[in-house]
A = this chain, B = another copy of it.
Amino acid sequence: MKLHWSPRSPFVRKVMVAAQELGLADRITTIRTVAAMNTPNAALLEDNPLSKIPTLVLEDGTVLYDSLTICEYLDHLAGGRLFPAAGAARWQALTWQSLGNGFLDALILWRNEREKPVERQTQAWMDAFAVKTGKTLDRLESETSALDAAPFNIGHVTLGCALSYLDFRFADLDWRAGHPKLAAWHAAIRARPSFQATEAVDG
């Protein structure tokens, strides 16, 4: 199967971490695909009219997206446990995943905004992103025991990728100050071989 891929997309990284955890990484052929928010990619548009990555193309031509759909497909293919069966454990895992996805969406928009010329920035948005980031970190700090107690799942994958993206693009924030439990949780997650194999590189 072919994956529209970039080394720096945190949503692509979710898929690659899942593939590593599930032992499927060598079945995925990555296609380097640039998908900037302001420049739709003509080749990618043929597979995904939103021009977003990750987008997975199966051998029979079936196209799957977004990261949630692809990760759940890979989990099913491998007979994995990244998506618990219906019940409290599943709703918890999916809500953590949604928190990680929404956190990443906010961080990506924040980064887009602060890279604009100052005269085109909207300060109220940047202030809102800062509030949401602080609240998300505080919430996660209070949930590290629950995260540690749950079997490793798609929630852990997503939150780990989100915190690593924060390190990658917002190194100035010093998020570990005031969040010592979360910092320790993230240190353990990023030491996993699946995270080590998919570390983003600047460029």
Contact = CB atoms under 8 A, between A and B. Distances in A.
Interface of A: 37-40, 45, 49-52, 62-66, 68-69, 72-73, 76, 86, 88, 90-91, 94-95, 97-99, 101-103, 105-106, 109, 116, 119-122, 124-125, 127-128, 131-132, 135-136, 138-139
Contacts of A73: 91
Contact of A50 (B66, B94, B125, B136): B136
A38 B122 contact: yes
A33 to B, nearest CB: 15
6 A-B pairs with the lowest CB-CB distances in the bound complex, closest first: A49-B135, A38-B124, A69-B94, A66-B98, A50-B102, A49-B136
Nearest to A136: B49
B120 A37 contact: no
Contacts of A120: 119-122
A49 B98 contact: no
Contact of A69 (B95, B116, B128, B138): B95
A119 B98 CA distance: 34
Contacts of A40: 128, 131-132, 135
Contacts of A65: 95, 98-99, 102
Given A51-B135, A68-B94, A120-B120, 15 more contacts: A38-B124, A40-B131, A45-B135, A49-B135, A49-B138, A50-B103, A51-B128, A63-B95, A64-B95, A66-B101, A69-B91, A72-B94, A105-B105, A116-B122, A119-B120
Contact of A102 (B52, B122, B131): B52
A4 to B, nearest CB: 14
Contacts of A105: 105
A139 B47 CA distance: 10
A40 B106 CA distance: 12
Q: Looking at A65, A69, A139, which has the most chain B CB atoms within 10 Å of its CB?
A: A69
Contacts of A109: 109
